[in-house]
Chains A and B, each alone.
Chain A
Amino acid sequence: MSDSTQTEGTRAADSVTADPPLLSVQDLHVQFPFSRGSFLNPHHGVIRAVDGLSFDIREGETLALVGESGCGKSTTARAIINLVHPTSGRVRLCGTDITGLGDRAMMPHRRVVQMVFQDPFASLNPRMTVGNIIGEPLVVHRLASGKDRKLEVLRLMDLVGLNPRFLNRYPHEFSGGQRQRIGIARALAVQPKLILCDEPVSALDVSIQAQIINLMMDLQQQLGLSYLFIAHDLSVVRHIATRVGVMYLGRLAEIGEAESVYSHPTHPYTEALLSAVPVPDPVLAATRQRIRLVGEVPTPDREHVGCSFADRCPLVVDRCRVDRPPQEQVVQTSQLHTVACWERGK
């Protein structure tokens, strides 16, 4: 790639002169304490849901986070907007430190960063009509009232493909995919700069999915919006992401520009992940080979001194079990593409 050196050049310049990144996450840790065992013989410990994660999101860019179920993607997003408090690490929004802010202090920042939740069923208030759910952020942030508010809500509903006639319906009267769109309209209401999207299109049929993705990309172009986009559908991710981060057990295994990660997957976990994507072609599906991961799926309730993927890794060497590979090892094909792997990073 000829322009990668140039991009690297501008990025290096950015860090001295230009604005700070829109979002910067540094060495984020989130732990959930638990106690198990019997009353007389308790056993305490912590679940390391996020275990040392660093990344930036710049204006107008989409960073996709993919990775194994339970690897800490939702927790990362929740920690960024302080729905759970980070155990350690730093979160900066437009250069301002927002780590661990309480609800009140977080309020003004919620105009800048919004979240679309993974579980549309649990995240919508069942006693509010759709119109009020979508309009609530407009009230809270005093952005529109009365007739203007109603018009704005109708516009948002139309934007995400919800029939405006449904204004006075309640969440339970909608199908799975319709509820997901309510969440998206609500997040768009305050015109944020950054939207954390946790599986925003996973319950949608591919046509409406295409409609929402096109909408998200249009808004990005028009308004310079940025997204943190959590998804399992790697075809969707390839389509929408500027950069992709592959997570494994609370850490980043690999991160880089989408093109580079897809054409040169470098971490053995990324390779396995990409080989398992189901293809919408019954003939191809019957013949294709995929890399099967063997070995125990690890749990986040013990500390991994070495690489957390070591137990399942086909390339494992002794060092992997004792030394944690740093996230910043550059991959040959691109300066912006890094991998946390002793074997592949060198």
Chain B
Amino acid sequence: MKDSQPLLQVNDLQVSFKTDESQVRAVRGVSFDVHPGETVGLVGESGSGKSVTNLAMMGLVPKPPGRIDGGRVMYDGKDLLTLNERQMQSIRGRRIAMIFQDPMTALNPLMTVGQQLTEMTRLHLGLNKREANRKAAEMLELVGLSGAEKRLRDYPHQFSGGMRQRVMIAMALSCEPDLLIADEPTTALDVTIQAQILDLLRDLQQRRGTSIIMITHDLGVVAEVCQRVLVMYAGRVVEQADVQSLFAAPKHPYTLGLLNSLPRFDQSSHTLEAIPGQPPDLGNLPAGCSFRPRCPWAVDACANEDPRLVTMDQDRQVACLVAQETANV
């Protein structure tokens, strides 16, 4: 899979927001590739820039207060960051689709679910009203919303949290995109429906070779569907590895802390091990490594040098001076 040309290449992406007190550097030089048919997991601290990275790729960061400070997003020979809104519209939804983290802001409260589901397929696939309605009902069926036709005339507020989330999934899948960006797609779903949705994504991938960027904090979901994982902290990728090695031997202290915080389904211990300390303020980052104030391994050098993402072995990259040091000896 890695021998193929990447479908998408993100290179040194930087995004910031202007707020009253500071310039918040939400994404600080993120680079990664997505290959055809691959599922890349994106995990990390809440507020570390996972959503903003992907919104920026789709041209959806509100400007102002947002600003793209640099980088390139190469797709199909073009840098998506240089396209105008009209060019972007022919890609968004059709070639690259996104399942948004917050269904309530992504769905239009004044339009019925049916109208929103058919809008995309009429626009991008040129379906007529009848065909689009049939397609919409079929998509809702696929995501486990039964009695689908009956509910096409309902408004989003009449749906439960998980039902809205599935409407968004149905919308994103209805044009069979090349790349699907799924931002916490299953947080509001019970595990049986979650399993059904993950099957649906796998099926789409096998049938169509769709690539998926799966943003999730659910490491169980990562273990089940991703081949490769990126771990983000404070606007940077701090570790990248294939899924087996990441779980078997995390190299970055943040990744390690994350895995240690997990409540395990098979046991009910008492206190969970949270990573100590506060998440960083992106408008006012410390010098050196941004994880240093919370890091159990920190040495003096960490205060001076902001570690780069360095390739360690075949498929593993880590941004930590101590981890890099240990690997060298």
Interface residues of A (CB under 8 A from B): 32, 34, 36, 66-70, 74-75, 118-119, 121-122, 161, 163, 165-166, 168-169, 173-178, 199, 202-211, 213-214, 217, 232-236, 238-239, 258-259, 262, 272-273, 276-285, 290, 292-293, 296-299, 301
1/0 contact trace for B246-281 toward A, CB 8 Å? 010000000001110111110011011111001101
Give the bracket for the number of chain B residues in contact with chain A: 35 or more
Whether A278 contacts B272 in the complex (CB less than 8 A), given A232-B190, A299-B146, comes out as no
B51 within 8 A of A: yes
Give A300 to B10 CA distance when docked, in angstroms: 45
Contact (Cβ within 8 A) B193 A69: yes
Task: Determine the chain A residues whose CB is within 8 A of the CB of B6 once the complex forms.
Answer: none
Distance between Cα atoms of A342 and B115 in the complex (Å) = 43
Q: Is the CB of A69 within 8 A of B281?
A: no
Known contacts A165-B284, A176-B101; A199/B223 CB under 8 A: no
State whether A234 and B272 are in contact (beta carbons under 8 Å apart), knowing that A70-B163, A239-B263, A278-B218 are contacts in the complex: no
**A233 CA to B264 CA, complexed, in Å:** 11
Q: Determine the residue in chain B with the shortest Cβ distance to A170.
A: B19
Pair A299/B147 contact, Cβ less than 8 Å: yes
For residue B31, CB closer than 8 A to chain A, the reply is: no
Tell which of A173, A235, A301 touches B264, judged by Cβ atoms closer than 8 Å: A235
Chain B contacts for A32, CB-based, 8 A: 158
- B108 on interface, CB distance cutoff 8 Å: no
Least CB distance from B281 to A in Å reads 5
Interface check B44, CB cutoff 8 A: yes
B191 within 8 A of A: yes
Chain A CB count within 10 A is highest, among B46, B48, B144, B224, for B46
How many A-B pairs with Cβ below 8 Å?
A: 206
Q: Are A238 and B190 in contact (CB under 8 A)?
A: no
Q: Which residue of chain A is the closest to B160 with respect to CB atoms?
A: A70
Q: Contact between A210 and B263 (Cβ–Cβ < 8 Å)? A: yes
Question: Is B33 part of the binding interface, using a Cβ–Cβ cutoff of 8 Å?
Answer: no
Q: Which residues of B contact A217 (CB under 8 A)?
A: 271
- Tell me the residues in window 122-153 of chain B with beta carbons closer than 8 Å to chain A beta carbons: 144-147, 150, 153
Q: Are A36 and B189 in contact (CB under 8 A)?
A: no
| A280 in complex: contacting residue of B102, B158, B195, B262, CB < 8 Å | B262
Give the docked Cα–Cα distance between A301 and B248 (Å). 47
Q: How far is the CB of A215 from chain B (nearest CB, A)?
A: 9
Q: Which residue of B lies closest to A231 (CB)?
A: B190
Query: Which residues 1-37 in B have Cβ within 8 Å of A in the complex?
Result: 17, 19-21, 24
**Contact B194–A232 (Cβ < 8 Å):** yes
Secondary structure call for the B interface:
loop
Q: Are A297 and B144 in contact (CB under 8 A)?
A: yes
A175, B280: Cα distance in complex, Å: 13
Give every chain A residue within 8 A of B269 (Cβ-Cβ).
239
Contact mask for chain B residues 51-90; partner A; CB cutoff 8 A; 1 contact, 0 none: 1100000000000010000000000000000000000000
Query: Cα distance A66–B188 when bound, in Å?
Result: 11
**Per-position binary interface string of chain B over residues 148-190, scored 1 when its CB falls under 8 Å from any chain A CB and 0 otherwise:** 0010011000111111011000000000000000001001111
- Cross-chain contact B272 with A210 (CB below 8 angstroms): yes
Contacting pair A204 B46 (CB below 8 A):
yes
Q: Which residues of A contact B163 (CB under 8 A)?
A: 69-70
CB distance from B7 to the nearest CB of A (A): 23
Known contacts A69-B193, A280-B222; can you find 20 more A-B pairs with CB under 8 A? A66-B190, A70-B163, A75-B160, A121-B105, A166-B281, A168-B20, A169-B19, A173-B19, A178-B46, A199-B188, A203-B217, A204-B217, A206-B261, A207-B258, A232-B191, A233-B218, A277-B191, A281-B223, A297-B145, A301-B147
- Known contacts A69-B162, A207-B274, A276-B192: does B105 contact A235 (CB below 8 Å)? no
B220 touches A203 (CB 8 A): no
User: What is the CA–CA distance of A241 and B87 in the complex, to the nearest angstrom?
Assistant: 51
A202: B residues at CB distance < 8 A: 187-188
**B46–A297 touching, CB < 8 Å:** no
Task: Knowing A69-B190, A119-B161, A273-B192 are in contact, say whether A203-B184 is a contact too (CB < 8 A).
Answer: yes
Please report the C-alpha to C-alpha distance between residue A145 and residue B102 in the assembled complex, in whole angstroms.
34
Q: Give min CB distance, B18 to chain A, whole Å.
A: 10
Chain B residues with Cβ under 8 A from A161's Cβ?
278-279
Which residues of A lie under 8 Å from residue B102 when comparing CB positions? 119, 121-122, 176
Asked if B200 is at the interface of the complex by the 8 Å CB criterion, the answer is no
Closest 5 CB pairs of A and B: A69-B162, A177-B46, A278-B220, A210-B272, A280-B219
How far, in angstroms, from A174 to B101 measured CA to CA in the complex? 13
Name B205-229 residues within 8 Å CB distance of A: 217-224
B243 at the binding interface (Cβ < 8 Å)? yes
A-B CB contact pairs (8 Å), 18 listed = A66-B190, A70-B163, A122-B102, A161-B279, A169-B20, A205-B44, A205-B46, A208-B45, A235-B220, A235-B263, A238-B263, A239-B269, A273-B191, A276-B194, A278-B224, A282-B244, A296-B146, A299-B146
A293 to chain B, nearest CB (A): 6
Check B104 for interface membership: any CB of A closer than 8 A: yes
Inter-chain CA distance A169–B272, complex, in Å, is 30
Bound CA–CA A184/B166 (angstroms): 26
Q: Which of A75, A214, A278 lies in contact with B274, CB distance below 8 A?
A: A214
CB-CB under 8 A from A259, the residues of chain B are 268
Residues on the B chain within 8 Å of A207, using CB = 45, 257-258, 261, 274-275
A75 to B157, CA, bound (A): 12
Interface status of B113 (Cβ within 8 A of chain A)? no
Contacts of B101 in A (CB 8 A): 176, 203
List of B residues within 8 angstroms of A210 by Cβ: 261-263, 272-274
